[in-house]
């Protein structure tokens, strides 16, 4: 059964690599965010008793709509333009991939996640000054650290991936370790966050209705 599912999944990726990897990337990021929320609850960094689906949806949509398509296109370009085979060429490919992704996707991550969450949670959806302020704070406090950790993790991993993994399966192969990386990104994005839990919003809404 498992072999059939894997074969069907592999066939889907081969026929529709962009869509297949987008769907996979969204699921992986969502899984990482759920793991992050569980860690936050365990460490007392939140009062969530249920998973915040809005937060997970924002994280998943970032991966599916922005990060994964960028990776698929970048990996395709590297595969066509750069020499193949051997550890030296693979190291060059892995380094190039990280240099092309790292500065760009981390800016997009903080920008998209911060503004999307602020818009979805804020009562006044016309006022985005708070979101822009939070984004600037993330860039000042977290951006360089995330970029550094990204290079330390992904350059070695991408080197091995380019060296040993076929082209069509490189993004999805990265997805395994991406669950842990997604969890890390979610923790960074939401540490000391002013975004309320979904349950808190529900309680506040019921309170306003009761007063009305």
Spell out the long-range contacts of 96-104 with Cβ–Cβ below 8 A and sequence spacing 24 or more.
Answer: 97/154, 97/158, 97/162, 98/150, 98/151, 98/154, 98/155, 98/158, 100/74, 101/70, 101/71, 101/74, 101/150, 101/154, 102/147, 102/150, 102/151, 102/154, 103/147, 104/70
Coil vs helix vs strand at 123: coil
Token duo for residue 156: 């070695």
**pLDDT tens-digit readout, 114-154:** 999 988 887 666 667 788 888 999 999 999 999 999 999 99
Q: Which of 185, 98, 97 lies closest to 138, judged by CA?
A: 185
- Region 186-197: mean pLDDT is 70
- Region 24-29: mean pLDDT is 92
Q: Whole-number mean pLDDT of the chain?
A: 82
So what's the pLDDT on residue 14? 80
Contacts of 130 (CB under 8 A, 6+ apart): 118, 122
**pLDDT tens-digit readout, 31-80:** 999 999 999 888 765 555 678 999 999 999 999 999 999 988 998 898 89
Which of these ranges, 69-78, 103-112, 160-169, has the smallest mean pLDDT?
160-169
- Region 162-189: mean pLDDT is 82
């Amino acid at each position: 059964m498992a072999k059939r599912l894997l074969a069907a999944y592999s066939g889907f990726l081969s026929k529709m690599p962009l869509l297949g990897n987008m769907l996979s990337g969204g699921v992986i990021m969502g899984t990482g965010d759920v793991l992050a929320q569980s860690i936050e609850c365990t460490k007392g960094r939140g009062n969530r008793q249920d998973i915040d689906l809005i937060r997970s949806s924002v994280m998943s949509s970032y991966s599916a709509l922005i990060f994964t398509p960028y990776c698929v296109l970048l990996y395709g370009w590297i595969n066509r333009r750069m020499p193949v085979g051997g550890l030296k060429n693979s190291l060059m490919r892995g380094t190039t991939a990280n240099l092309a992704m790292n500065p760009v996707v981390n800016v997009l991550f903080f920008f998209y996640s911060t503004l999307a969450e602020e818009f979805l949670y804020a009562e006044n959806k016309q006022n985005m000054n708070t979101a822009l302020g939070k984004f600037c704070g993330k860039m000042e406090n977290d951006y360089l650290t995330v970029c550094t950790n990204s290079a330390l993790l992904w350059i070695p991993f991408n080197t091995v991936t380019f060296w040993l993994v076929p082209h069509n399966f490189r993004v999805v192969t990265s997805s395994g370790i991406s669950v842990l990386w997604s969890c890390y990104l979610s923790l960074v994005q939401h540490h000391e966050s002013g975004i309320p839990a979904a349950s808190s919003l529900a309680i506040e809404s019921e309170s306003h209705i009761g007063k009305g």
